[in-house]
A and B are shown apart, each in its own frame.
Chain A
């Protein structure tokens, strides 16, 4: 029988992991799927997902849109709109494998697109802003259609189910990526549905998140002023848009972005050397509504790298390890060992301290 509030203890659920090759060497999805197995109990089967970077080398200059459709009507409507603004080089179902663990799947499609030159010119936007607006438009105005991945040469794969099963469902062993992130979900506030699983993405940025965002509404109200719409009923979505805004629109670096979303306490800032103190004060004062409070462990994936970040109180676990040119990040050491039994230098980053890993220039 349903337990009452207070009688059921939800542990700090959700599981995240990631692996990246600094030399740009491609890896198939098996290792990342394996990393989620020891962390099975952190999820409750209501969501799992992966993001892979470098998986579509033959279409590397095209945006790969991954879209869920509730039914064919939604698909027709979306494709009509897509045809009016984008040139589609290839459109197909994302290949999946029927397994008992994953049921009730929506239609899952992918399109390799580029903006129609004439429309792009007439709107006087760069192609990234153009695609971002197309994604927002589909997600907000076309019922039953959700774009869940929209970057170049990368893709998000997610579903309702345990992550190991999701990986098998999407046949991730057939993809080769230089960087993978993964997530297993334990929803804290919102229903489990296909669109609500992690990773959340916009353009090439993806977020996997373990935690709960207390400041969700403040963040959402601010970020929606800039054209982003939070439609996927999960607090994590807002971090993706915050990262996109700060990095793409404001030009902040990764560590500057970390200083906004996981800003140190005022008392900590006051003790820093003068120049750093002034910079941190500036960032915190200029973007006060983008501070994310609440426990979190996030991994931000982007073209050419990853950033892992904890909230400034380190209220959720995160460990980092490495071996050779590979760097491993996960909620638990067991997950790292599952990917690489000989992993070395296992350490836990401090709260608010970003861990940034980049792939060698030119190798992606």
Chain B
């Protein structure tokens, strides 16, 4: 079972002088929060399992139990709220997307009530969509429009070096440091497989990724002392041909 570093959301507050050790709470809790400890002759509670269903609270004959929202709080930040941070921890801990029920538990506006869906044709679709293929290859680079010819009158290709993308998508720059090694490797491999480019950001280029040089744009900026930068030599300085 994975270790959970988040402080539990709820706390079980038991008034011990009221508790008559009847163990109803132990028998009724579906999540096995309450346990009778024989040696100490008292009820102990594992609040990490409590979901605040309030069953033990309502069944306790002496009303000795109370479930409260924990006031153990992370540092306040309107951008990175407690809930967001905890959800990220939970997803990282479980490796899966969190599932919850339908509906909006937050006091946020319902955007669907504010959108007009207007189906209209804004552009000419492919006339023969079954037979007209889409070619998405794009070249980036200056196109001076100059035509040079040799003595035989044939065109001499004279474009400055171009970047060749299999489709008009590039990953934006996220530095090694702002995101992890694994994230960089994912981007580098994805760019290579798709035939597009990713950008190292200003954190420098790990030497393990030199092998993806053909699909790498190296950003040389203030965030990385550019003195050594051997990585620049492995990246496309003159990338592809026009």
Show the binding face of A for B, using Cβ within 8 Å: 189, 212, 214, 216-217, 250-252, 256, 265-266, 275, 278-279, 281-283, 285-288, 293-295, 313, 315
Contacts and interface: CB of A to CB of B under 8 A. Distances in A.
A288 B137 CA distance: 10
Nearest to A252: B147
Interface of B is mostly: loop
B162 interface: yes
Given A265-B135, A266-B137, A282 B127 contact: no
B228 interface: no
Given A293-B132, A315-B128, A285 B147 contact: no
Interface residues of B, number: 24
B227 interface: no
Contacts, number: 65
Interface in B110-135: 123-128, 131-133, 135
A303 B143 CA distance: 30
B151 to A, nearest CB: 14
A295 B132 CA distance: 9
Interface in B18-57: none
B242 A286 contact: yes
Given A266-B135, A279-B154, A286-B159, A295 B242 contact: no
A285 B242 CA distance: 6
Nearest to A266: B137
Interface string B125-164: 1111001110101110001010100000011011100100
Contacts of B242: 281-282, 285-286
B206 interface: no
Contacts of A293: 126, 132
A295 B128 CA distance: 8
16 contacts: A214-B125, A214-B127, A216-B124, A256-B155, A266-B137, A278-B157, A279-B154, A281-B157, A281-B242, A285-B139, A285-B242, A286-B143, A288-B143, A293-B132, A294-B132, A295-B127
A212 to B, nearest CB: 5
Contact of A212 (B127, B133, B139, B154): B127
B63 interface: no
A294 B124 CA distance: 10
Contacts of A256: 155
A223 B158 CA distance: 21
A252 B155 CA distance: 9
Contacts of A217: 123-124
